Structure 1
Amino acid sequence: MSQHSQVIAIEWRQQTLQLLDQRILPHQQQMIECQTAAETANAIREMVVRGAPAIGITAAYGIALDALAGRDLEAAYKVLAESRPTAVNLFWALERMAALGTSDGEQLLAEARRIHAEDIAHNLAMGQFGAELLGNNATVYTHCNTGALATGGHGTALGIIRSAWAGGKIKHVYAGETRPWLQGARLTAWELMQDNIPVSLVCDGAAAQLFRAEKPEWVIVGADRITANGDVANKIGTYSLAVLARHHGMKFMVAAPSTTFDLSLNSGNDIPIEQRPMSEVTSLQGIQIAPQKCQAINPSFDVTPAELIDAIVTERGVIHQPSVATVAALLDSH
């Protein structure tokens, strides 16, 4: 059975960047064309593309767009760097492009293509490492979207689920809806259904009851930034799942490429948490659901402490019981 996803979310075609508009999935499948770094930054900010690895890949192509057209690359780097503050892959990709020290469009495009191809290869490696941690006939719970839509292809947490399914190890997947953008409902459920992987959608608030009644073996999630001590910033709602999993005797796995580690930060207390507009909470697809002028808080991410995480799976291998020492041991060995 093939473990490759049927979904393509990022594509370089005829000297333009094509992005699958994730705001209107699953009901419409439409590609948006970006021809400048500014348009690319806007697509990242407006959630046309989301997921830390996908944001990094997209930003790299954004630099290539402006380089090919002979535009000011300093301005291109700046507009892209300001698009989303929490996803460290964005800054990693921009720094890698800048490190070439060239404004040659073809060279920068080749590097963006390499970043894209490496991400897919890393996801496939992660998929194998993570699948090996699962027992047979496993039921798992996942949060947000970490699949081909959020990466260069295959996925991180969803890539592990995809690989485990291909290996006959997954019985069923529970996908949390992931308010307020509903990435679990709109994207993860859709992606799993495209690949005929059995999935049940779960209201975020029903996770505790599900864990008590069904006892899935693992919660498997992605990450947007991981600090030196193994604390993990991920989509809002991840922290509460980790607390629930620990209480119910379940295992908690984070899947992320090594580029997601930010060793300049000692702990999760140092991670900048993106605050998004109140309207994302008070309305749904443009329809007001809360009283007019109702105040809301809308952090896009939360931080899960390392002590609640059983394993961080990377393309280089698995970090068991994350800590300063175990994180350094894996990253330093490469």
Structure 2
Amino acid sequence: MIPTLQWTSEGVSFLDQTKLPQVETYVLARNYNEVADVIRNMVVRGAMAIGVSGAMGVALGIQQSTAVTLPDLNAEVEVICDTLAKTRPTAVNLFWGIAQIRDLYNKLAAENVAIDEIKSQVVALAQTLYDEDIANLKVLGAYGADLLPKEGTILTHCNAGALAACGYGSALGVIRAAVERGYKIDVFADETRPFNQGTRLTAWELTKDNIPTTLICDNMAGYFMGQGRIKAAIVGADRIAANGDTANKIGTYSVAILCKEHGIPFYVAAPFNTIDIETLNGKDIPIEERAAKEVTHVNGVQVTPDGVGIANPAFDVTPAKYITAIITERGVLRAPFEESIAAMSKQTK
């Protein structure tokens, strides 16, 4: 697997996803502010990758602190966490990753552990979270593969693959696991305007894995469903509410409705930390509004008339009633999701 992000002695190295598929190049974030910029500018993207990136950003900030007393370091940690938390508001995994490092720091600080030892432990935890992400997604992939047809075409939207995680992927991890079992499946990848994650990333990633992939425009899904071509749809998630309502890349809601109309199973694949039990339903999920230029320009070329109004919500919310199942590394959740999520949240990790 090409590493999406990697801890190094000089900082955190990120595969620059804004340059794919034409150029494979890396950006080195040498401090937590640069990690924040990388997340904000979508050099790294995808809820799972953002979560671990946030954790690494906090750990990097703590490691590089010159504070000599815990009170001084406490104040720095608050600034570090706040800076990273403001980068992408919808992906709950970001706040999870930040909290993992902050909670360990608070525990060690309360025990009056030496600052050098604190630095060592938070860095070790950030690296462990990276390894756990890949391991968890392989387990998730196996659960999901059980649900897919043994042959046929699977539709996916946006990119919930290795590029959206530390490796392997959630929605594409399920597809990978199915292919590894010998299933004869191929993929229809939505282009996913306006940032073109399907065009640039999913098509690139699956092609590199020799998984047969056809790129389609976002507005073609209904046509192919009507033709009987699509046997299932599977997507990732950036936040799942306690009742199963799911925020994912803009356009997901439309795909889910089309699946319901055509009797096609619609699956959401995401690690369990994507579920936010404090958010009761989809109406409470904050939706990030991104820059107009993502809509007005394609590859740096303006394609819209000057002065036209632009709306660019990055996500939409799919109500739980349209979701066939939610696939996690702990198992498969089904309706009523409020009950199944509550029961699974009580399980020991």
| TM-score relative to the length of structure 1 | 0.96
Displacement of 1:177? 0.3
1:145 and 1:187 in contact (8 A); partners too: yes
Aligned to 2:335: 321
Say which structure is richer in helix: 2
2:5 and 2:53 in contact (8 A); partners too: yes
Once the two structures are superposed, residues 198-228 of structure 1 have per-residue CA deviations (whole angstroms, 9 ceiling, x without a partner) of 0000000111111111331110000000011
Displacement of 1:115? 1.0
Match of 2:260 among 233, 236, 246: 246
Aligned AA (1:195)? D
1:56-71 → structure 2 map (5 Å cutoff)? 56-70=51-65
CA RMSD of aligned residues (A): 1.1
Aligned to 1:88: 92
Moved more, 61-70 or 290-299: 61-70
Residue 322 of structure 2 is aligned to residue 286 of structure 1: no
Residue 45 of structure 2 is aligned to residue 50 of structure 1: yes
Aligned AA (1:164)? A
Aligned to 1:141: 155
1:133-282 → structure 2 map (5 Å cutoff)? 133-282=147-296
1:301-316 → structure 2 map (5 Å cutoff)? 301-316=315-330
Aligned AA (2:313)? P
Match of 1:38 among 24, 29, 33: 33
Match of 1:117 among 111, 128, 131: 131
Once the two structures are superposed, residues 261-285 of structure 1 have per-residue CA deviations (whole angstroms, 9 ceiling, x without a partner) of 1111111011000011111111112
Once the two structures are superposed, residues 26-60 of structure 1 have per-residue CA deviations (whole angstroms, 9 ceiling, x without a partner) of 00000100011110000000000000010011111
Aligned to 1:3: none
1:282 and 1:294 in contact (8 A); partners too: no
1:311 and 1:320 in contact (8 A); partners too: yes
After superposing on structure 2, the runs of 4+ consecutive aligned residues of structure 1 that deviate more than 3 Å are none
Consecutive unaligned residues of structure 2, counting only runs of 5 or more, are: 67-75, 109-114
Displacement of 1:321? 2.4
Once the two structures are superposed, residues 74-132 of structure 1 have per-residue CA deviations (whole angstroms, 9 ceiling, x without a partner) of 21111100000000000011111111124622211101011111111110000000001
1:205 and 1:37, CA in 2 relative to 1: closer, same or farther beyond 3 A? same
Displacement of 1:66? 1.4
Aligned AA (2:229)? K
Aligned AA (2:157)? H
1:310 and 1:322 in contact (8 A); partners too: no
Secondary structure, aligned partner of 2:162: coil
Displacement of 1:70? 1.2
Once the two structures are superposed, residues 278-320 of structure 1 have per-residue CA deviations (whole angstroms, 9 ceiling, x without a partner) of 1111111221110012111000000000010001000000012
Residue 21 of structure 2 is aligned to residue 26 of structure 1: yes
1:123 and 1:156 in contact (8 A); partners too: yes
1:56 and 1:89 in contact (8 A); partners too: yes
The alignment of Structure 1 onto Structure 2 pairs a total of residues equal to: 329
Match of 1:108 among 103, 112, 122: 122
Consecutive unaligned residues of structure 1, counting only runs of 5 or more, are: 1-5
Secondary structure, aligned partner of 1:140: strand
Tell me how far apart the structure 1 counterparts of residues 298 and 17 of structure 2 sit (CA, whole Å): 15
2:53 and 2:97 in contact (8 A); partners too: no
Secondary structure, aligned partner of 1:303: strand
Aligned to 2:83: 79
